[in-house]
Structure 1
Amino acid sequence: MTFDSPLILDGGLATELERSFKKDLSGQLWSAHCLDQDPDAIRTVHKLYFEAGANVATTASYQASVQGFLDAGYSRDEAVKLMRRSVQLAREARDAHGKGLVALSMGCYGAILANGAEYTGNYGDHITIDDLVQFHRERLTICLQEPGIDFLLFETIPSYLEAQAIRQLIQGEKELRLPPVAVSFSCRSNNQVSDGTPLYKSLDILADIDHIFGVGVNCTKPKYIASLLEILLQHDKSKNKSILLYPDGGEEWDAIARSWNSRTKVSTSVFGESMAGWAKEVANKTGQKVILGGCCGTGPKHISCIQEAL
Structure 2
Amino acid sequence: MALVDAYAPPGHAFSNVADLVRNSGGCAVIDGGFAVQLEHHGAQVKTPLWTALCLITSPELVTQVHRDYLEAGAQVVLTSSYQATLPGFESQGYTREQGREFLRRSVELAVQVRDDFWNDYQERLKKGEVPPGQYSRALVGASIGSYGAYLADGSEYSGDYGPEMTLEKLKEFHRERLLILAGAGPDLIALETIPSYVEAQALVEILEEEDLKIPAWLSYISKDGKNVVRGDSIKSCAELVERSSKVVAFGINCTPPSLCGELICAARKVTSKPIVVYPNRGEDWDAEKKEWIPSTGATDEDFVNYIEVWRKAGANLIGGCCQTTPATVRAIAGALHPHEHLGSCAH
Same fold at TM > 0.5: yes
Please name the residue that 2:202 is paired with. 165
| Offset of residue 277 of structure 1 | 3.5
What SS class does the counterpart of residue 131 from structure 1 fall into? helix
Q: Tell whether the 8 Å contact from 1:252 to 1:264 is kept in structure 2 after alignment.
A: no
CA change 1:172–1:79 in 2 (3 A) is: same
How many pairs align? 296
Moved more, 80-89 or 227-236: 227-236
Aligned to 2:109: 89
Deviations, residues 239-290 of structure 1 (Å, cap 9, x unaligned): 2x000110001223589x99755342111122123124422442xxxxxx60
In the alignment, which residue of structure 2 is the partner of 1:243?
Answer: 275
Shift in Å, 1:200: 0.9
Asked whether the equivalents of residues 235 and 266 of structure 2 are also in contact (C-alpha less than 8 Å), the reply is yes
Structure-2 residue corresponding to 1:210: 245
1:127-206 aligned within 5 A: 127-147=165-185, 149-174=186-211, 177-206=212-241
Question: In the alignment, which of 36, 40, 44 is matched to residue 60 of structure 2?
Answer: 40
* Contact 1:216/1:232 (<8 A) preserved: no
**1:298 equivalenced with 2:324 (yes/no):** yes
Shift of 1:31: 3.3
Contact in 2 for aligned 1:272/1:303 (Cα 8 Å)? no
Letter in 1 for 2:226: N
Q: Which residue of 2 is the match for residue 286 of structure 1?
A: none
Offset of residue 204 of structure 1: 2.1
Alignment match of 1:113 (pick from 142, 145, 151):
151
Secondary structure of 1:206's counterpart equals: helix
Structure 2 counterpart of 1:63, from 80, 83, 86: 83
Q: C-alpha root-mean-square deviation of aligned residues, in Å?
A: 1.9
Aligned-partner Cα distance in 2 for 1:71–1:55: 34
Q: 1:12 to 1:260 in 2, by over 3 A?
A: closer
Paired position in structure 2 for 1:265: 297
Identical residues among aligned pairs (%): 36
Q: Quick one: distance in 1 between partners of 2:293 and 2:91?
A: 32
Stretches of structure 1 that go unaligned for 5 or more consecutive residues are 283-288
Give the TM-score of the pair, scaled to structure 1: 0.90
**Range with bigger deviation, 136-145 or 10-19:** 136-145
Q: Please, which runs of 5 or more residues in structure 2 have no aligned partner?
A: 1-14, 119-136, 337-347
Which of 13, 31, 34 pairs up with 1:13?
34
